[in-house]
Amino acid sequence: MILTAFFTAWGDLIRPGSLRVLGLGVALATGLLIAVYAAFAWFLGLVLPDTMTLPWIGEIGWVDTLVSWASLGLMLVLSVFLMVPVAAAFTGLFLDDVAEVVETAHYPGLPPVRRLSLAETMRDAMAFLGVILGANLVALLIYPFVIPFAPVLFLGLNGYLLGREYFHMAALRRMERDDALALYRANKATIWIAGALMAVPLSVPLLNLLVPVLGAATFTHLFHRIRGTS
């Protein structure tokens, strides 16, 4: 069920409606990462000197260039962790549009969706963003002490968080909140594994830019398959 939903979602990314949302998602995620890198490089430029004098070598003037390239490599690595909250923050932006494309193509004849108020959507999104940021900041402090198990911790933690949020938001389009929560609890293990699968491309720079839209499509399929939508 999970793999079917995942690979079907990859095919949905090239549908006309999804391509527009995918382009927007990649542009927003890329823009955010560039903005973070620019702020980081600007800060380094303030605190680091243009030249540096080393013993037995003398004055060197390429410190800022070296640090700039090093910081770019560092940001590519950090993008693995930065894309987790980015994917979480963009979920609410993309889910409705992507889900509509998926449902039109694969689940025709469904009744109108349950529309959430803007206040309800923002409240859920901000609450989840706070949780995922806090959890990953704590995890970043733990990773150096459990290096052999860091990938397992990354996938397990973000699989749980992303799976819960993506499924919750997909379910709320079609169910009342209490019913959506009950369906989640009844299928928690399946949803956790699906979330961990979504966390895998999050760990690959550049590929992780696709995750917000891919996750919305995958969990739309997973919701309908768990619910037994014909």
pLDDT tens sequence across 4-44: 988 898 888 888 777 777 777 777 777 777 777 777 767 76
**Predicted pLDDT at 185:** 94
Query: For residue 50, what pLDDT band results from cuts at 50, 70 and 90?
Result: low
Question: Is the distance from CB of 215 to CB of 102 less than 8 angstroms?
Answer: no
Using DSSP's 3-state secondary structure scheme, residue 193 falls into helix
Q: In sequence order, what DSSP letters do the residues of 60-91 get, joined into one string?
A: ES-HHHHHHHHHHHHHHHHHHHHHHHHHHHHH
CA distances from 150 to 153, 158, 203 (A): 5, 12, 12
pLDDT of res. 184: 93
Q: What is the pTM of this model?
A: 0.75
Q: Model confidence over 148-205: pLDDT tens digits? A: 888 888 889 888 988 988 898 889 888 888 999 999 999 999 999 999 988 888 777 7
State which amino acid sits at residue 11: G
The larger pLDDT score, comparing residue 115 to residue 15, is at 15
- Domain chopping of the chain, boundaries: 2-227
